[in-house]
Chains A and B, each alone.
Chain A
Amino acid sequence: MIDHFPAIQVALPMIAAAVVVIVRNPLVSHLIATGVAWISAVIAWTLLQSVLASGPISYQLGGWAPPTGIEYYIDPLNAFVLFLVSGIAAVVFPFAGASVAAEVDENKHHLFYACLLLCLTGMLGITITGDAFNIFVFLEITSLSSYALIAMGRDRRALSASFNYLVLGTLGGTAILIGVGLLLMQTGTLNIADLHMRLEGAHAASKTVLVALAFLTVGSSLKIALFPLHAWLPNAYAHAPSAVTALIAATSTKVSLYVLMRFIFTLFGTAVVFDVFQLQRVLLPLAVIGMFVGSLVAIYQTNIKRMLAYSSLAQIGYMVLGISLVNESGLAGSIVHMFNHAVIKGGLFMVMAAVVLRTGSADLSAMRGLAKRMPLTYLGFVIGGLGLIGVPLTAGFISKWYLVLGAIQNGMWLIVAMILLSSLLAVIYVWRVVEVGFFEEPDPEAPEIKEAPLSMLIPTWIMLGASLFFGVMTDTTAGVALEAARQLMGAP
């Protein structure tokens, strides 16, 4: 049984999605989805522990040996991402109930949960597979289900947001497909480890490989929403049903970032990417610009879901920055920030889901004096906000530490200043919301507002509690990230 965990990890949510469509009952669908998410998290945790204890796992699908067959290959990096994705899903899925009931038509509920499960399937598949073409396939599964999820809310603007995402997402997917095709043309294989071996030596600096790298980088950057390829993100996050935003914001860009890491470090290898093609010269400036543009635009948003979306843009900048520092600390910072930011931003979007449920709006003006009426929810925003800023004792601080350390090790003092300055911009946009909630009086004509239901409060606080927990207990985050970074940066 345990031997087949890699296959079950992906197959279980996929089968469950089909079951949910057949069952059609909203409540049962919700229960099935939640149960599957929990089982997935347990499986991912087991895999992570196994990889850490006894090294990488190679699973041959159907017993066909790679490079002919499809291989699932799990090392510390993707075991960590698997745990991240399924862990977030395990908290968000039970949470979704109340929010979905309010924001999605009842006759679509079972389809909603089916899409949610398919989205999870896709993300887990992208992460676990050791086959470049397989990545593309799962990427499309994730994308298609995401388009449907975003468009499923009652907010009509979600339709154009989803269409936007569809067009740009397809472009990104196509770019990745072309990149994989070029590599297949050059080497005759699709298995990532095999590709890496064949790319060494003669082929390394050829034009075809360069073009393939370009396509793969642009394709995954579109999915990551790296500046300036971020146009789809703010509207998609702002107008999607709140529970969907919480899930996608926490996981989907992270999985895409993982794909970029996998391409750069495992497929091509650092020597080709950074020494021959000097990719860091492109990524570093874009990351820094993204950090500032995202935060600065966030400051001027009045819709708080949109504000958090732009904040994500800035945070993505940090993660890409960590990659482009090309040292262990920076890369570890990038990996650990994937996790920490997922937890923090997931928690914040869950808070906003509760706010939208109670006030019917994600607008700043709707949050006047809300701290008195929804004290636990609002305190959650403060905790998450402090995490975004990167105050010590929150997970955000851990990420910042490694990013700054990585920059100092390279002697890049300007970058150090940039990281810290842009993190201070977060103070401005977070504090705006805090002040409105605590120091302004609610609109006297507004209807009485109750605290969010427990089915939302408990998962939200589990998520935010995690952002505090991983701010002080970092064995499973920083420890694993350092180990993964060491393996990625080390000899192949």
Chain B
Amino acid sequence: MSATVLIVLSMFMPLVAGLVLRAFDKEPNIRDGFSLLVAVGTFACVCSLTPMVMAGERPAFQLLEMLPGLSLAFEIEPLGMLFALIASGLWIITTVYAIGYMRGHHESNQTRFFTCFAVAIGAAVGAAFSANLLTLFTCYELLSVSTFPLVAHHQSAESRKAGRIYLGILLTSSVLFFLPAIVWTWHLTGTTDFVAGGILMGKIPDAAVPLLLALFIFGAGKAAVMPLHRWLPAAMVAPTPVSALLHAVAVVKVGVFTVVKVVTYTFGTKLLTDTGGSVWLMYVASFTILASSVIALGKDNLKARLAYSTISQLSYIVLGAAFANELGIMGAGFHIAMHAMGKITLFFAAGALIVLVHKTEISDMAGIGRKMPWTMGAFFVGSLCIIGIPPTGGSWSKWYLLMSAADANVWLMGVLLISSLFSIGYLMPVVTTAFFKPLPPESDHDHHDDHHHEGSGNVEYDHILCVIPPVLTAAGCVLLFLFSDQLYALLEPVMAANR
């Protein structure tokens, strides 16, 4: 198949599938099977594009001209390739997991759930493949709108409020900052295309560089740089598969992906280092890393703690981009992959705890590791990946980021080290509580109102659909450590362009 067909398929299969799914509202088995099939198909298309990009090709495709001189167009470069691979690959595993979770949890409106999920993935892949800022912005907004029903899924007062915060912050920031940044760029350069090495060099007064960068950074509210981070903890009311794939991988990564992409392909790292336009961002990102780590330490609700951990880890990526040197970009690209794999593992495990034993608070999890060794074992490996300890992939990204800090701003190496300690501090207690604290004696006044356990004291601890996904992604964390040279080879050209 030609590259164009593959690009179209990998974006539009999920989008169209979302609509087709509605037809199978009454046939959950067909609907979920179809979801899985599309996920596999999408991943296959994305995969078959990879060798071309690795070989140095840049498959491109123009969909239509939206405004005179401004197109909806797609062109695959290494960063986008990487992001699309992660999003579509993890979609398969998440679909398996979601089928188990949604059924096990007796969720309502499952068709709407899978529909919006598919559309969101299509939008994420579209964002990954964008050839210009306008296309990226379009996919970005499509992603915000399509994930709103997922956040507000339970339709309760609480989830509606969370939905409002979610859409409110994401739409406001993107419309108020991202859009004028794009129009300004268009006004300055007459293009919004992504060009290796940037388009703004010589077109923008030095003093305006930090300002335009700020519009982009805070416009990409999905990157959750403080103070625009509130939407992410709010989004945790969503069913766990949503938190896992969208709020640890697809949505947040579109945010940081935008940041990295803008730094490398719109500004160009040279412009930023020459003008010092990104120095302020180093400090803002560092503050976000530390502040959200401290907040994470204080959260007893596991999903809330993971959410603040995500905010912190996202700013690692932003920090790498702010360093604006080749290692920083490499570290940022690596961390997009590593954090995705690690954090999705943690969320899978957290979701398994909710659906199987109904535990959401860390203090209630004493001894649970002995009952659920696989799930909590995977949680442990995922934690290592987030902290950055071998043999997990996270150690590579932290390594590059440290090296990059040594070049750009030695003092900020300290931030990276301290925050690694923090991440040990907020992740490891979960593991130790689960494995080393004794299981409390079975209380007979089980307060859970969930009906399918009523009467039977027998809790199923290891449901197959809740065990396999976290174990697979945990294995992925280790594989990423072992095969990091492939990742390096993929991202090499981005580095070369910023040398």
B236 to chain A, nearest CB (A): 19
Partner of B66, one of A386, A390, A431, A474: A474
Contact status A401-B183, CB under 8 Å: yes
A431-B141 CB under 8 A given contacts A404-B180, A424-B175, A474-B67: no
Instruction: Knowing A391-B145, A424-B171 are in contact, say whether A404-B68 is a contact too (CB < 8 A).
Output: no
B-contacting 9-mer, from A35-43, A80-88, A149-157, A415-423:
A415-423
Q: Tell me how far the C-beta of A175 lies from the nearest C-beta in chain B, rounded to whole angstroms.
A: 37
Asked if A408 contacts B183 (CB within 8 A), the reply is yes
Tell me whether A405 and B138 are in contact (CB under 8 A). Answer: no
Chain A interface: which size bin? 20 to 34
Interface assignment of B20: CB less than 8 Å from any CB of chain A: no
Closest Cβ–Cβ distance, residue A421 to chain B (whole Å):
7
Across-interface contacts of A479 in B (CB, < 8 A): 68
Residues 462-480 of A at the B interface (beta carbon under 8 Å): 471-474, 478-479
A392: Cβ under 8 A from any B Cβ: yes
Closest to A329 in B: B187
Instruction: From B160-168, B375-383, B408-416, B486-494, give the one contacting chain A.
Output: B160-168
Which of chain B's residues 37-87 have a Cβ closer than 8 Å to chain A?
A: 64-68, 72
Classify the interface of chain A: helix, strand, loop or mixed. Answer: helix
B172 part of interface (Cβ distance < 8 Å) = yes
Contacts A405-B186, A417-B176: A393 and B155 contacting too (C-beta < 8 A)?
A: no
Interface residues of B in 102-147 (CB under 8 A from A): 134, 137-138, 141-142, 145
Among residues 353 to 405 in chain A, which have CB atoms less than 8 Å away from a CB atom of chain B? 386, 389-393, 398, 400-401, 404-405
Give the number of residues in B that approach A within 8 Å (Cβ atoms). 29
What residues on A are CB-neighbors of B66 within 8 Å? 398, 471-472, 474
Query: Residue B184 at the A interface, CB < 8 A?
Result: yes
Instruction: Report the bound CA distance from A392 to B143 in whole Å.
Output: 11
Interface contact A439-B64, CB-CB below 8 Å: no
B365 interface residue (CB < 8 Å to A): no
Residues of B within 8 A of A391 (CB): 141, 145
Interface: A106 (CB within 8 A): no
Residues of B within 8 A of A393 (CB): 138, 142
Q: CB distance B67 to A478 under 8 Å?
A: yes
**Chain B residues in 8 Å Cβ range of A390:** 175
In the complex, whether B152 has a CB less than 8 A from a CB of chain A is yes
Residue pair B152, A431 in contact (C-beta under 8 Å): no
Q: A417's closest neighbor in chain B, by CB?
A: B176
- The CA-CA distance from A386 to B176 in the complex, in Å, is 16
Residues of B157-211 at the interface with A, using a CB-CB cut-off of 8 Å, are 160, 164, 167-168, 171-172, 175-176, 179-180, 183-184, 186-187
User: In the bound complex, what is the Cα–Cα distance between A333 and B230 (angstroms)?
Assistant: 34
In the bound complex, do residue A408 and residue B184 qualify as a contact, i.e. CB atoms below 8 Å apart? Answer: yes
Q: When A408-B183, A482-B68 are in contact, do A431 and B167 touch as well, CB less than 8 Å?
A: yes
Within the complex, the shortest CB–CB distance from A335 to chain B, in Å, comes to: 14
* A421 to B180 Cα, complex, angstroms: 12
What chain B residues lie within 8 Å of A404 (beta carbons)?
179-180, 183
Cβ-closest chain B residue relative to A382: B145
Q: Determine whether A435 belongs to the interface, using a CB cutoff of 8 Å to chain B.
A: yes
Query: Which residues from chain B contact A405 at a C-beta distance below 8 Å?
Result: 183, 186-187
**A408 CA to B137 CA, complexed, in Å:** 19
Chain A residues whose CB sits within 8 angstroms of the CB of B180 once the complex forms: 404, 408, 416-417, 420
Interface string of B260-296 (1 = CB under 8 A from A): 0000000000000000000000000000000000000
A176 to chain B, nearest CB (A): 35
Residues of B within 8 A of A474 (CB): 65-68
| CA of A314 to CA of B138, assembled, Å | 24
* A427 close to B183 (CB less than 8 A): no
Chain B positions within 8 Å of A435 at CB level: 160
Bound: A107/B64 CA distance, A: 50
B23 to chain A, nearest CB (A): 13
A409 contacts partner chain B, Cβ-Cβ < 8 Å? yes
A393 to B143, CA, bound (A): 13
Question: Does A392 lie within 8 Å of B187, measured CB to CB?
Answer: no
- With beta carbons under 8 angstroms apart, the residue of A420, A473, A478, A482 that contacts B176 is A420
- When A416-B180, A424-B176, A427-B168 are in contact, do A473 and B64 touch as well, CB less than 8 Å? yes
Q: A398-B67, A401-B67, A405-B183 are known; give 17 further A-B pairs, CB within 8 A.
A: A392-B142, A393-B138, A398-B66, A401-B183, A404-B179, A408-B184, A409-B187, A417-B180, A420-B176, A420-B179, A420-B180, A421-B176, A427-B172, A431-B167, A438-B155, A474-B68, A482-B68
Could you jot down 27 A-B contacts, CB within 8 Å? A389-B171, A391-B141, A392-B137, A392-B142, A393-B138, A404-B180, A408-B183, A408-B187, A420-B175, A420-B176, A420-B180, A423-B175, A424-B171, A424-B172, A424-B175, A424-B176, A427-B167, A435-B160, A438-B155, A439-B152, A471-B66, A472-B64, A472-B72, A474-B68, A478-B67, A479-B68, A482-B68
* Closest 3 pairs between A and B when the two form their complex, measured CB to CB: A392-B138, A439-B155, A404-B183
Using a CB–CB cutoff of 8 Å, the interface residues on chain A facing chain B are: 386, 389-393, 398, 400-401, 404-405, 408-409, 416-417, 420-421, 423-424, 427, 431, 435, 438-439, 471-474, 478-479, 482
